[in-house]
A and B are shown apart, each in its own frame.
Chain A
């Protein structure tokens, strides 16, 4: 009975048993290498090397990830052979996935997206993994093509549990049925998380608004975005260059119709490009209401996955002729610099536009089922440009998604813009959180700026007024203080005089 586990090969727990061949991925606090395990017939492995010194102070998350990886067992989930520390680093030894991540594959060879048949093969395996994970009480929390890997046989595996969470072991989740007293009051929260994890582009609305709590259905949203990513070659909105003018264009006068063209330049893909089944499947995942999204298990029965091909289909149609993971990673590393330059050039004419306006504001998502595109909903554009101040301060409370261009390029280095993610085994946990936080910070700063702007419009220069006012207040305070002191002195004097008076009246008769 236990033999199925015992027959697992024990990988050596010392770094000297491994020979590093090449770097195949990198993030803020981790590097991924291709290596061979010398004592085990020089089997190729991927080693994710996590820098403890740069990962967050609390090591519990690293422990949880290692544990999750050790205890999951599913053909579509990339598990770790073993993990051990090497000085300040943790080495996680994993099977080497020769095809690399789908993100790397599409950015190299399928920039306009994969065929539906290929997508189905990839997604069904991803769903099998998700269904298993969810059944185990785990949330993946970072589903995207960069975390879906393919081996040389076309077998698809879901990877990177850096931000995954378990409903059975977490301080964030309220333990279900822990006692009588907790039976009903927290019924809706027992399977929920309220912390913040993932990569912005793929994040479900309720994750961004994480105070509401989110659950398995957040993974389904990300799954839907991943489907779009595979179909278009990139996730929605990812291709906007990080230029100020572009941001202004979007916040001020961009129309949805232009937007389509802009995002998917040279790939204006007519609405007939995708089958009804695919559109319907994606649409169901991208429902704003998490409860209306199907479960992974239910999605598996969707008609889109009927007559789904096997892994050999991927070998023939996707992997065939693809350069090696190492090669692709190097190419991307080389072109990285050029890319960012190219993006800067897009700046164009609006050179004088407001400095440091870094994010566009999106108040929600419209899922255009026909074009299979996710379109941002901006705060209602009722005003002309000459009135756009008023527009800028229109804050919509619900379903806001704010994204910052810089997030894509700096926060998650190996993500979309730079397209360098060959192996997704890289921890993006910290980066993702950081990115999200910087998005939030940016958004708050922008709102502050807008409020100030509006104030200045209404009351002259608000900033200066404010300063003047506070100066005035402190001046008045000081005056008040001196008045008080004077008052006190006067009162004392009065007392003195009174005493004097009494004593003199008392003294008068005798003198």
Chain B
């Protein structure tokens, strides 16, 4: 009771009992008990051994100890069914973890761990991204100086065995704006267009989730990225994603496109996008798909072309030429459940198209 940590008699396992009263935090840890910092230090030592040489049978105990440490760190950070995490302990662990290069060691050694240890390590890394020490996200500071770690994480989408672990870590790391910016501006960005379509569904879906996070989380960073990289980005986006032969790729891409263009911070990009007749052609084709989900999502982008008050003549030309078909298509387009906003949008778009006059 007098301390937050109690040591199990025979094993090395540290079990949390109750959170310590805040006033006694100085007497929190008795010297003989393994503190969170001790566990991190021990983990680091074991990872170094693992990294430096091949692990033989004699070292098996060390591996078991390493796995146990990772499990303990997870319990400290997340708590368990009996106890909530103790902020003091979380903070101590975080500080020690980023004090030295534990993160790098863990990332580099991850393939050498077994499945359970990999999962524990991933969850530890994920949690550490959100831990504050003296109201600072020290993970962000660490990553700023170690951006090359992102290269390892991103490339893992090419390795089916590691992709889901590294992918989960990556998604947590790009919560930091500075990391997201790095990834967006890195050459890796182009690879996502392929990762999203990896045949292995769970990996492709993970890459898609990361891509979506990159393109939506940090508004101003994304807006800046899109205006600086407009040309190649949307060329790739259109040809590889919106016109992909893969149904799920098209569906996710058109949904994400809507999310991006409808975001206020991307207004300039949106204006540019809806002035292109090539883009309009692609969206009109998507609206003709037999998949209702894709049709509806495509409509949410198409409406921006129609609503644009500064429509270029060629856009108007296309809309006028296809007026009857468009009006019929839109008239038939219905959502299963009632959606006033959708109906209102649709009516507005139809009105807009019906009123169009070809310009000379």
Instruction: Give the interface of A toward B (CB within 8 A).
Output: 1-2, 4-6, 10, 13-14, 52-53, 57, 59-60, 62-63, 66-67, 69-71, 73, 82-85, 87-88, 90, 134, 136-137, 167-169, 175-180, 183-184, 187, 190-191, 216, 295
Contact = CB atoms under 8 A, between A and B. Distances in A.
Contacts of A176: 77-79, 84-85
B248 A180 contact: no
Contact of A175 (B84, B127, B200): B127
B79 A190 contact: yes
A468 to B, nearest CB: 29
Given A134-B81, A177-B78, 20 more contacts: A2-B113, A5-B161, A52-B247, A52-B293, A59-B251, A63-B209, A66-B202, A67-B164, A71-B119, A85-B246, A85-B247, A85-B248, A90-B201, A168-B123, A175-B127, A178-B130, A179-B131, A190-B84, A191-B79, A191-B81
A481 B202 CA distance: 65
Interface of B: 19, 55, 63, 77-79, 81, 84-87, 90-91, 111-116, 119, 123, 126-127, 130-132, 135, 160-161, 164, 168, 199-202, 205-206, 208-209, 246-248, 251-252, 291-293
Nearest to A65: B202
B9 to A, nearest CB: 20
B87 A180 contact: yes
A161 to B, nearest CB: 12
Given A2-B111, A59-B248, A67 B81 contact: no
A82 B206 CA distance: 14
A325 B292 CA distance: 35
A63 B77 contact: no
Contact of A53 (B199, B202, B209, B292): B292
Closest 8 CB pairs of A and B: A177-B85, A63-B205, A13-B199, A66-B202, A83-B201, A183-B87, A178-B130, A176-B78
A6 B161 contact: yes
Contact of B205 (A59, A177, A187): A59
Given A70-B202, A191-B79, A5 B85 contact: no
Of the listed residues B78, B164, B202, B248, the one surrounded by the most CB atoms of chain A closer than 10 A to its CB is B202
A2 B63 CA distance: 12
B87 A60 contact: no
Contacts of A10: 160
Contacts of B111: 2
Nearest to A69: B202
Contacts of B85: 176-177, 183
Contacts of A57: 293
Nearest to A88: B247
A1 B114 contact: yes
Contacts of A66: 201-202, 205
B215 to A, nearest CB: 15
A311 B168 CA distance: 37
A129 to B, nearest CB: 15
B112 A179 contact: no
A137 B123 CA distance: 11
A443 to B, nearest CB: 20
Contact of B164 (A70, A88, A190, A295): A70
Nearest to A186: B84
Contact of B293 (A6, A53, A63, A71): A53
A192 B281 CA distance: 47
Contacts of B292: 53
B320 to A, nearest CB: 32
Contacts of B77: 176-177
A376 to B, nearest CB: 30
A137 B122 CA distance: 13
Contacts of A1: 55, 63, 112-114
B253 to A, nearest CB: 12
B251 A13 contact: no
A57 B291 CA distance: 12
Contact of B202 (A59, A63, A137): A63
A52 B127 contact: no
Given A83-B201, A183-B87, A71 B291 contact: no
A89 to B, nearest CB: 9
Contacts of B126: 168
Nearest to B126: A168
A132 to B, nearest CB: 10
Nearest to A136: B119
A52 B249 CA distance: 12
A177 B127 contact: yes
A175 B130 contact: yes
B164 A177 contact: no
A63 B212 CA distance: 13
Nearest to B197: A85
A83 B130 CA distance: 32
Given A67-B206, A177-B127, A82 B113 contact: no
Nearest to B161: A5
A87 B291 CA distance: 11
Contact of B206 (A63, A136, A175, A216): A63
Contacts of A59: 205, 248, 251-252
A88 B205 contact: no
Contact of A83 (B200, B208, B209, B247): B200
Contacts of B202: 63, 66-67, 69-70, 83
30 contacts: A1-B112, A2-B111, A5-B114, A13-B200, A52-B251, A57-B293, A60-B209, A63-B205, A67-B202, A73-B115, A82-B201, A83-B201, A84-B199, A84-B200, A84-B201, A134-B81, A137-B78, A168-B123, A168-B126, A175-B127, A176-B77, A176-B79, A176-B85, A177-B79, A177-B85, A178-B130, A180-B135, A183-B87, A184-B19, A191-B81
A180 to B, nearest CB: 5
A234 to B, nearest CB: 32
A14 B202 CA distance: 14
Given A59-B205, A59-B252, A71-B164, A2 B112 contact: yes
B127 A180 contact: no
Contacts of A87: 247
